[in-house]
């Protein structure tokens, strides 16, 4: 099977494994996220904390895997001008960095 055929098979199998309940759940979570954001930044940050923590820990893991000497993830939301930064991972230059 060629690459395109394998990709079509993958998406076909994936589509058969997703039920209407799965789609409804994802849409409900997205709607809840938008609703909570209307209450302000701090309620939003509490609701999104688990996903944010997992996201930043994956950044930390990849930086560790690439020997970038990561610092522990910052998970405390902070304002940067007119936007919010929900978390970050600082790391030293490594094999994937030009500096």
User: Does the pLDDT of residue 91 top 90, yes or no?
Assistant: no
> What are the pLDDT digits (tens) for 72-83?
899 999 999 988
Q: Where are the alpha helices (DSSP H) in 18-90?
A: 20-37, 41-65
User: Does the pLDDT of residue 1 top 60, yes or no?
Assistant: no
* Nearest of 52, 65, 53, 59 to residue 89 by alpha carbon: 59
User: Does the pLDDT of residue 89 top 80, yes or no?
Assistant: yes
Structural tokens at position 75 = 């998970």
> What are the pLDDT digits (tens) for 23-72?
899 999 989 988 988 898 888 888 889 999 999 999 999 989 988 889 98
Burial of 62 per CB tally in 10 Å (0-12, 13-18, 19+): middle
Burial of 42 per CB tally in 10 Å (0-12, 13-18, 19+): exposed
95 band by pLDDT with thresholds 50, 70 and 90: low
With 0.85 as the threshold, say if the pTM is over it.
no
């Amino acid at each position: 099977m060629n690459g395109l055929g394998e990709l079509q098979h993958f998406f076909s199998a994936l589509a058969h494994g997703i039920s209407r309940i799965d789609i409804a759940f994802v849409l409900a979570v997205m709607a809840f996220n938008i609703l909570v954001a209307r209450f302000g930044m701090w309620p939003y940050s509490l609701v999104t904390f688990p996903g944010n923590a997992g996201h930043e820990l994956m950044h930390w893991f990849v930086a560790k895997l690439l020997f970038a000497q990561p610092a522990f993830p910052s998970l405390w939301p902070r304002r940067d001008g007119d936007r919010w930064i929900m978390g970050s991972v600082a790391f030293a230059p490594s094999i994937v960095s030009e500096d």
